[in-house]
Structure 1
Amino acid sequence: MEMYKVVIIEDEPVIRMGLVHTIDWASMDCVVAGEADNGRVGLALIREKRPDIVIADICMPQMDGLTMFREANELYRFSMIILTGYLEFKYAHEAIQLNVVDYLLKPIDERKLEEAVEKAKSSLLQMHNSMQYEIYKGLEKEEKTIIDVLPVKNGNIYVEKALQIIHDRYNTQLGLRTVAAELGVSESYLARKFKEGTGITFLDCLNQYRINQALKRIRAGGYRINEISDQVGFTQYKQFAVVFRRYVGMSCSDFLKLSEAQQKEVYPRI
């Protein structure tokens, strides 16, 4: 069973070490993928580890937790839990705008932390189901493409071209940097315009499209899972397994054990 990856970013060593080493993360189907003691290092850690859940303090050196969350949220979608020593309205208001799933006061109550993690896991599933619906609600019709079902706000030509590239070449080694270079724009410009235009990041869109194509192959039969992983653009099966769980809500092996009707209930877009 794939575990939810958690990153903890807290500048107080005693609290950070306590969260990392004394909490029974395995009982919550989680594993600590990394830790950091300030927001700038935390942002780099999020970029590197791509965790499912990030737990962070607000007041930290170099970069505060809310700024870090705001910048990291441009990369991909994940669940956010805030830690703080005091409750201030201005922080709570901004946390709500960032869709933070919970706001925990120090000292940390372990039961409340467990409840927050459960909220974070539920939020991830809802988030992914919502994104899947928006992208794939019409893809079961062969004449439909990702361009048809994910209209671009304001009609940005570069975003439309990027979507077409995803549709045509999702099974190749595709990334935001290479697509931006091909289109003759900066990576940061395309990332910003893609999210503004579609509501999701380039990587979210690419991964969701790949998983949708993988699920179609699973339903058709005749392929091994590692073959499907290669066919839809993943270089390593381990990476495919992590992304599959993130967007479907369960491991590939568990999904294969379901009947066709159960599979459709879990993931209705196949």
Structure 2
Amino acid sequence: MNEDKFDKPSFYGEHVKGMIIAGHFDETDSYFTKRPSGMSDWLITYTLDGEGYFSTPGREDICRIGDVALLRQGTPHQYGTSRGQIWNFVWAHFSSRMMETSLLPVTPLLIHSVDNDSARERIYKAFQRVISDSIERSAYWSELCENNLREILLLVAQRESKQIDARIEEVQHLLSTTMSATFRIEDLAKKVGLSPSRLSHLYKETIGISIVESLNQMRIRQAALLLEHTDRIASEVALDVGFQNYNHFANQFRKHYAMSPRAFQAQQTPKK
């Protein structure tokens, strides 16, 4: 086996135990790592292209594009590039002492498939920051790495707890990131590869309310926060969150808070 392909960072000594070590590998099918006794830390990988595998006692699992793999400490294993494939992936080793137990699976290996583009991009960017900070090691580098790993684990835990259609998840992301913009259901449908009628039906079936109702909820929740925590007047807040007509904004606000935006703002604690 080519030693340059070996996952050398995995074999660190006890004197650096608990540190976060991360990297980006792009490997042919000659690459593999075997640990019959497991390891003292956790391993998380995210596949960018190609295909890899994880062998643990009694099973073998495949990792493809968009898959997050989380290997429990102490689990005997072998992983590598699938035969005839390349495996382009980012990875990090970390100690369980750095993370809340609730974010770590009880199974020896968890493979979670991320299907929508926005979640994939978010996870990859978090990994990029982990890799950069772990290599650069400027002030607070370990804490920055931990925060980004925690973000990845939280996203996985969130998606594991309530798995929804990736297209609906993508629409929710689009609504939240372009909340103040004017949108058409036809445009959203085109972005996720559905007809407008199919998207509208699937969204309400999945979320329980329509796309318009969902957008209005997002806007009104944000408006309430702005009214409570800033000095912006109600008409400015309406525009901030995407309502071009103040009366429509006020009516929607009353539906959620049983009072006008101005009355809501007036009852909040005076700003200092």
TM bin (shorter chain): 0.3 to 0.5
> TM-score, structure 1 length as denominator?
0.39
Identify the structure with the greater helix proportion: 1
Q: Which has the larger radius of gyration?
A: 2
> TM-score, structure 2 length as denominator?
0.38
